Amino acid sequence: MRPAAGVGEGVVLQRRHLYPAAAARPVGLRAPARVQPVDTAGRVDQHAGVQVNGLRLDVGEVRVGTSGWSYDHWRWVLYDPPVPSSGRLGVYSTVFDTVELNASFYHWPRATAFVHWTQQVPPDFLMTVKAPRGLTHARKLRDPEAWTTRISEGMSALGERRGMLLMQLPPDLERDDERLAGALRAIPAGVRVAVELRHPSWVHDDVFALLARFGASYCVMSGAGLPCELRATSDVVYVRLHGPDPERLYVGSYSDQDLDWWARRIREWQGSGRAVLCYFNNDGDGNAVRDAQRLRQRVGPL
Protein backbone atom coordinates (compact mmCIF):
# COMPACT_ATOMS: atom_id res chain seq x y z
CA MET A 1 0.00 0.00 0.00
CA ARG A 2 1.66 3.23 -1.12
CA PRO A 3 1.53 6.37 0.99
CA ALA A 4 -1.12 8.75 -0.28
CA ALA A 5 0.03 12.26 -1.01
CA GLY A 6 -1.98 15.13 0.35
CA VAL A 7 -4.25 13.18 2.69
CA GLY A 8 -2.64 14.48 5.86
CA GLU A 9 -2.65 18.13 4.86
CA GLY A 10 -4.66 20.33 7.14
CA VAL A 11 -5.57 17.59 9.62
CA VAL A 12 -6.55 19.25 12.85
CA LEU A 13 -5.12 17.82 16.05
CA GLN A 14 -8.17 17.64 18.24
CA ARG A 15 -8.63 17.51 21.98
CA ARG A 16 -8.04 14.20 23.70
CA HIS A 17 -10.42 12.65 26.17
CA LEU A 18 -11.19 9.27 27.65
CA TYR A 19 -14.77 8.38 26.89
CA PRO A 20 -17.17 7.07 28.29
CA ALA A 21 -16.68 9.28 31.35
CA ALA A 22 -19.29 11.96 30.76
CA ALA A 23 -17.31 14.68 32.50
CA ALA A 24 -14.37 14.09 30.17
CA ARG A 25 -16.20 14.78 26.93
CA PRO A 26 -14.68 17.74 25.13
CA VAL A 27 -16.78 20.78 24.40
CA GLY A 28 -16.41 23.24 21.57
CA LEU A 29 -14.68 20.71 19.37
CA ARG A 30 -13.09 22.35 16.38
CA ALA A 31 -14.10 20.84 13.05
CA PRO A 32 -11.21 19.29 11.09
CA ALA A 33 -9.91 20.97 8.01
CA ARG A 34 -11.20 19.86 4.62
CA VAL A 35 -9.15 17.18 2.91
CA GLN A 36 -9.42 16.57 -0.82
CA PRO A 37 -10.11 13.00 -1.96
CA VAL A 38 -7.12 11.16 -3.37
CA ASP A 39 -6.88 7.97 -5.35
CA THR A 40 -4.76 4.97 -4.50
CA ALA A 41 -1.83 6.38 -6.43
CA GLY A 42 -1.92 9.57 -4.41
CA ARG A 43 -3.31 11.86 -7.13
CA VAL A 44 -5.79 14.47 -6.04
CA ASP A 45 -9.12 14.27 -7.88
CA GLN A 46 -10.89 17.63 -7.93
CA HIS A 47 -14.20 16.29 -9.24
CA ALA A 48 -14.88 12.86 -7.76
CA GLY A 49 -15.93 11.84 -4.29
CA VAL A 50 -14.32 9.16 -2.19
CA GLN A 51 -15.17 6.62 -4.91
CA VAL A 52 -11.67 7.15 -6.35
CA ASN A 53 -10.32 5.57 -3.16
CA GLY A 54 -12.07 2.30 -3.88
CA LEU A 55 -15.09 3.06 -1.70
CA ARG A 56 -18.56 3.87 -2.95
CA LEU A 57 -18.88 6.86 -0.67
CA ASP A 58 -19.57 10.46 -1.48
CA VAL A 59 -17.77 13.32 0.22
CA GLY A 60 -19.57 13.96 3.50
CA GLU A 61 -21.62 10.75 3.30
CA VAL A 62 -22.41 8.99 6.59
CA ARG A 63 -23.14 5.30 7.03
CA VAL A 64 -24.07 3.69 10.33
CA GLY A 65 -24.25 -0.03 11.03
CA THR A 66 -23.21 -2.72 13.48
CA SER A 67 -20.21 -4.95 14.09
CA GLY A 68 -21.50 -8.30 12.89
CA TRP A 69 -25.03 -9.30 12.00
CA SER A 70 -25.63 -12.96 12.85
CA TYR A 71 -26.42 -12.99 16.56
CA ASP A 72 -29.02 -15.34 18.01
CA HIS A 73 -29.89 -12.78 20.67
CA TRP A 74 -30.99 -10.35 17.94
CA ARG A 75 -34.07 -12.46 17.34
CA TRP A 76 -37.18 -10.36 17.91
CA VAL A 77 -34.98 -7.25 17.77
CA LEU A 78 -33.76 -7.11 14.18
CA TYR A 79 -34.98 -10.50 13.01
CA ASP A 80 -38.68 -10.32 13.78
CA PRO A 81 -39.96 -12.87 13.07
CA PRO A 82 -36.78 -14.93 13.50
CA VAL A 83 -35.04 -16.09 10.33
CA PRO A 84 -32.36 -18.77 9.84
CA SER A 85 -28.76 -17.57 10.03
CA SER A 86 -28.42 -17.93 6.25
CA GLY A 87 -31.07 -15.25 5.73
CA ARG A 88 -29.98 -12.74 8.33
CA LEU A 89 -27.67 -10.63 6.19
CA GLY A 90 -30.41 -10.07 3.64
CA VAL A 91 -32.78 -8.87 6.36
CA TYR A 92 -30.03 -6.74 7.92
CA SER A 93 -29.40 -5.01 4.58
CA THR A 94 -33.01 -3.80 4.45
CA VAL A 95 -32.36 -1.79 7.62
CA PHE A 96 -28.69 -0.74 7.33
CA ASP A 97 -26.47 0.11 4.37
CA THR A 98 -23.17 -1.06 5.87
CA VAL A 99 -21.83 -3.74 8.19
CA GLU A 100 -18.53 -4.63 9.81
CA LEU A 101 -17.68 -8.29 9.27
CA ASN A 102 -16.27 -9.69 12.53
CA ALA A 103 -16.12 -13.41 11.69
CA SER A 104 -13.08 -12.72 9.48
CA PHE A 105 -11.09 -11.90 12.62
CA TYR A 106 -11.41 -15.47 13.88
CA HIS A 107 -11.23 -17.31 10.58
CA TRP A 108 -10.50 -15.62 7.26
CA PRO A 109 -13.21 -16.70 4.80
CA ARG A 110 -12.67 -18.11 1.35
CA ALA A 111 -13.25 -15.73 -1.55
CA THR A 112 -16.40 -17.68 -2.40
CA ALA A 113 -17.90 -16.71 0.96
CA PHE A 114 -17.37 -13.03 0.19
CA VAL A 115 -19.04 -13.49 -3.18
CA HIS A 116 -21.97 -15.24 -1.50
CA TRP A 117 -22.45 -12.30 0.88
CA THR A 118 -22.47 -9.80 -1.97
CA GLN A 119 -25.35 -11.71 -3.53
CA GLN A 120 -27.48 -11.15 -0.43
CA VAL A 121 -27.23 -7.36 -0.24
CA PRO A 122 -28.10 -4.41 -2.52
CA PRO A 123 -25.51 -3.05 -4.96
CA ASP A 124 -24.85 0.06 -2.86
CA PHE A 125 -24.24 -1.85 0.38
CA LEU A 126 -20.75 -1.61 1.95
CA MET A 127 -19.09 -4.41 3.92
CA THR A 128 -16.09 -3.51 6.02
CA VAL A 129 -13.90 -6.48 6.94
CA LYS A 130 -11.98 -7.05 10.16
CA ALA A 131 -8.41 -8.20 9.54
CA PRO A 132 -7.50 -11.71 10.77
CA ARG A 133 -6.19 -12.07 14.30
CA GLY A 134 -3.36 -14.13 12.85
CA LEU A 135 -2.00 -10.85 11.50
CA THR A 136 -2.96 -8.44 14.27
CA HIS A 137 -2.82 -10.55 17.45
CA ALA A 138 -0.75 -13.70 16.84
CA ARG A 139 1.99 -12.10 14.75
CA LYS A 140 1.27 -8.59 15.99
CA LEU A 141 1.86 -7.18 12.49
CA ARG A 142 5.12 -9.08 11.93
CA ASP A 143 5.59 -10.62 8.46
CA PRO A 144 2.34 -9.14 7.11
CA GLU A 145 3.14 -10.36 3.61
CA ALA A 146 1.96 -13.83 4.65
CA TRP A 147 -1.60 -12.48 4.62
CA THR A 148 -1.40 -10.24 1.55
CA THR A 149 -2.78 -12.72 -0.98
CA ARG A 150 -5.68 -13.89 1.17
CA ILE A 151 -6.68 -10.36 2.08
CA SER A 152 -6.47 -9.27 -1.55
CA GLU A 153 -8.63 -12.18 -2.75
CA GLY A 154 -11.29 -11.59 -0.11
CA MET A 155 -11.52 -7.85 -0.49
CA SER A 156 -11.51 -8.08 -4.29
CA ALA A 157 -14.37 -10.59 -4.16
CA LEU A 158 -16.57 -7.94 -2.56
CA GLY A 159 -16.35 -5.82 -5.70
CA GLU A 160 -18.21 -2.52 -5.44
CA ARG A 161 -19.58 -3.54 -2.05
CA ARG A 162 -16.09 -3.44 -0.55
CA GLY A 163 -15.70 -1.24 2.49
CA MET A 164 -12.54 -0.80 4.52
CA LEU A 165 -10.17 -3.31 6.08
CA LEU A 166 -10.14 -2.82 9.85
CA MET A 167 -6.93 -3.70 11.66
CA GLN A 168 -7.73 -3.90 15.37
CA LEU A 169 -4.50 -4.09 17.35
CA PRO A 170 -4.46 -5.80 20.76
CA PRO A 171 -4.45 -3.65 23.91
CA ASP A 172 -1.04 -5.00 24.94
CA LEU A 173 0.68 -4.02 21.69
CA GLU A 174 2.62 -0.86 22.44
CA ARG A 175 3.63 1.72 19.91
CA ASP A 176 5.97 0.54 17.16
CA ASP A 177 5.90 2.89 14.20
CA GLU A 178 8.17 0.77 12.02
CA ARG A 179 6.03 -2.32 12.50
CA LEU A 180 2.84 -0.41 11.73
CA ALA A 181 4.35 1.15 8.62
CA GLY A 182 5.47 -2.28 7.43
CA ALA A 183 1.97 -3.66 7.79
CA LEU A 184 0.38 -0.73 5.98
CA ARG A 185 2.92 -1.03 3.21
CA ALA A 186 1.99 -4.69 2.72
CA ILE A 187 -1.74 -4.07 2.34
CA PRO A 188 -2.81 -4.70 -1.27
CA ALA A 189 -3.18 -1.63 -3.46
CA GLY A 190 -6.71 -0.29 -3.59
CA VAL A 191 -7.68 -1.60 -0.14
CA ARG A 192 -8.56 1.20 2.27
CA VAL A 193 -7.49 0.61 5.86
CA ALA A 194 -8.67 1.76 9.29
CA VAL A 195 -6.49 1.02 12.32
CA GLU A 196 -7.81 0.63 15.87
CA LEU A 197 -4.94 1.38 18.25
CA ARG A 198 -6.02 0.25 21.70
CA HIS A 199 -2.80 0.80 23.67
CA PRO A 200 -2.55 4.45 24.82
CA SER A 201 1.10 4.72 23.74
CA TRP A 202 -0.11 5.03 20.14
CA VAL A 203 -1.76 8.37 20.87
CA HIS A 204 0.97 10.54 19.40
CA ASP A 205 1.16 13.11 16.63
CA ASP A 206 3.82 11.13 14.78
CA VAL A 207 1.54 8.08 14.67
CA PHE A 208 -1.32 10.12 13.24
CA ALA A 209 1.05 11.58 10.65
CA LEU A 210 2.16 8.05 9.72
CA LEU A 211 -1.44 6.96 9.18
CA ALA A 212 -2.08 10.06 7.08
CA ARG A 213 0.92 9.32 4.84
CA PHE A 214 -0.60 5.94 3.98
CA GLY A 215 -4.12 7.29 3.59
CA ALA A 216 -5.19 5.12 6.53
CA SER A 217 -8.00 6.10 8.89
CA TYR A 218 -7.41 6.32 12.61
CA CYS A 219 -10.25 4.42 14.29
CA VAL A 220 -12.08 6.69 16.70
CA MET A 221 -13.41 4.48 19.49
CA SER A 222 -15.60 4.56 22.55
CA GLY A 223 -15.44 1.95 25.28
CA ALA A 224 -14.22 1.07 28.76
CA GLY A 225 -10.50 1.79 29.10
CA LEU A 226 -10.05 2.76 25.46
CA PRO A 227 -8.53 6.09 24.41
CA CYS A 228 -11.14 8.10 22.54
CA GLU A 229 -9.14 10.43 20.36
CA LEU A 230 -11.08 12.54 17.88
CA ARG A 231 -8.64 12.43 15.00
CA ALA A 232 -9.17 12.43 11.26
CA THR A 233 -6.15 11.11 9.34
CA SER A 234 -7.85 10.56 5.98
CA ASP A 235 -10.92 11.55 4.01
CA VAL A 236 -12.92 8.77 5.72
CA VAL A 237 -13.50 8.85 9.49
CA TYR A 238 -13.96 5.39 10.98
CA VAL A 239 -15.81 5.11 14.31
CA ARG A 240 -16.37 2.06 16.54
CA LEU A 241 -18.66 2.34 19.55
CA HIS A 242 -18.05 -0.53 21.97
CA GLY A 243 -20.62 0.45 24.59
CA PRO A 244 -21.07 3.13 27.27
CA ASP A 245 -20.34 0.99 30.33
CA PRO A 246 -17.27 2.39 32.18
CA GLU A 247 -16.12 -1.06 33.31
CA ARG A 248 -16.99 -3.52 30.53
CA LEU A 249 -16.87 -3.50 26.76
CA TYR A 250 -19.74 -4.50 24.45
CA VAL A 251 -22.57 -3.98 26.95
CA GLY A 252 -25.13 -1.29 27.69
CA SER A 253 -27.08 1.14 25.56
CA TYR A 254 -26.00 4.69 24.76
CA SER A 255 -28.14 7.43 26.25
CA ASP A 256 -29.83 10.10 24.17
CA GLN A 257 -27.20 12.53 25.45
CA ASP A 258 -24.39 10.24 24.30
CA LEU A 259 -25.88 9.83 20.83
CA ASP A 260 -26.55 13.55 20.50
CA TRP A 261 -22.88 14.13 21.29
CA TRP A 262 -21.71 11.64 18.66
CA ALA A 263 -24.14 13.05 16.11
CA ARG A 264 -22.59 16.49 16.57
CA ARG A 265 -19.11 15.07 16.05
CA ILE A 266 -20.25 13.30 12.89
CA ARG A 267 -21.81 16.47 11.52
CA GLU A 268 -18.54 18.30 12.14
CA TRP A 269 -16.66 15.68 10.15
CA GLN A 270 -19.32 15.91 7.45
CA GLY A 271 -18.90 19.65 7.35
CA SER A 272 -15.19 19.21 6.70
CA GLY A 273 -15.93 17.10 3.61
CA ARG A 274 -15.15 13.75 5.17
CA ALA A 275 -17.21 10.60 4.83
CA VAL A 276 -17.98 8.71 8.04
CA LEU A 277 -18.36 4.99 8.70
CA CYS A 278 -19.70 4.24 12.19
CA TYR A 279 -20.29 0.80 13.72
CA PHE A 280 -21.85 -0.16 17.05
CA ASN A 281 -20.26 -3.14 18.80
CA ASN A 282 -22.43 -3.28 21.95
CA ASP A 283 -24.28 -6.32 20.62
CA GLY A 284 -25.70 -7.56 23.94
CA ASP A 285 -29.52 -7.48 24.16
CA GLY A 286 -29.66 -6.05 20.65
CA ASN A 287 -28.38 -2.68 21.88
CA ALA A 288 -26.17 -2.20 18.83
CA VAL A 289 -29.19 -2.44 16.52
CA ARG A 290 -31.26 0.05 18.47
CA ASP A 291 -28.39 2.46 19.04
CA ALA A 292 -27.37 2.41 15.38
CA GLN A 293 -30.93 3.22 14.34
CA ARG A 294 -31.14 6.02 16.90
CA LEU A 295 -27.87 7.57 15.74
CA ARG A 296 -28.91 7.19 12.11
CA GLN A 297 -32.04 9.22 12.86
CA ARG A 298 -29.89 11.96 14.35
CA VAL A 299 -27.50 12.33 11.42
CA GLY A 300 -30.03 12.09 8.62
CA PRO A 301 -31.86 9.62 6.41
CA LEU A 302 -30.30 6.75 4.50
CATH of the domain at 92: 3.20.20.410
pLDDT for the residue numbered 301:
63
If one counts the domains in the chain, the total is 1
Task: Give pTM, 2 decimals.
Answer: 0.84
Which band of pLDDT confidence, cut at 50, 70 and 90, is reported for residue 24? very low
The Cα–Cα gap between 47 and 49 comes to 7
Asked if residue 79 belongs to a domain, the reply is: yes
Half-sphere exposure of 260 (CA within 13 A, CB side): 5
Nearest Cα to Cα of residue 118 among 42, 32, 184, 56: 56
Q: Is residue 254 part of a domain?
A: yes
In a domain, 4, yes or no: no
Say what the pLDDT of residue 300 is: 81
Model confidence pLDDT, tens digit, residues 187-204: 998 999 999 999 999 999
Average per-residue pLDDT for the chain: 85
Q: Determine the 3-state secondary structure of 298 from DSSP.
A: helix
Q: Average pLDDT for residues 227-238, to the nearest whole number?
A: 96
| Closest-CA residue to 89 (of 70, 116, 62) | 70
Instruction: With respect to residue 157, please indicate whether it lies within any of the assigned structural domains.
Output: yes
Distance of alpha carbon 13 from alpha carbon 268, whole angstroms: 14
* Segment 245-257 mean pLDDT: 95
Residue 211 has pLDDT above 60, yes or no: yes
Domain containing 234 equals: 16-299
Residue 82 in any domain: the answer is: yes
Residue 41 contacts residue 1 (beta carbons within 8 Å): no
Asked whether residue 11 is assigned to any structural domain, the reply reads no
Question: Tell me: the pLDDT tens digits for 254-274?
Answer: 999 999 999 999 999 999 999
pLDDT at 27: 28
Beta strands at 275-280 and 217-222: parallel, antiparallel or unpaired:
unpaired
Q: pLDDT of 106-150, one tens digit each?
A: 999 999 999 999 999 999 999 999 999 999 999 999 999 999 999
Give which of 301, 292, 287, 213 is closest to 259, Cα–Cα. Answer: 292
In a domain, 7, yes or no: no
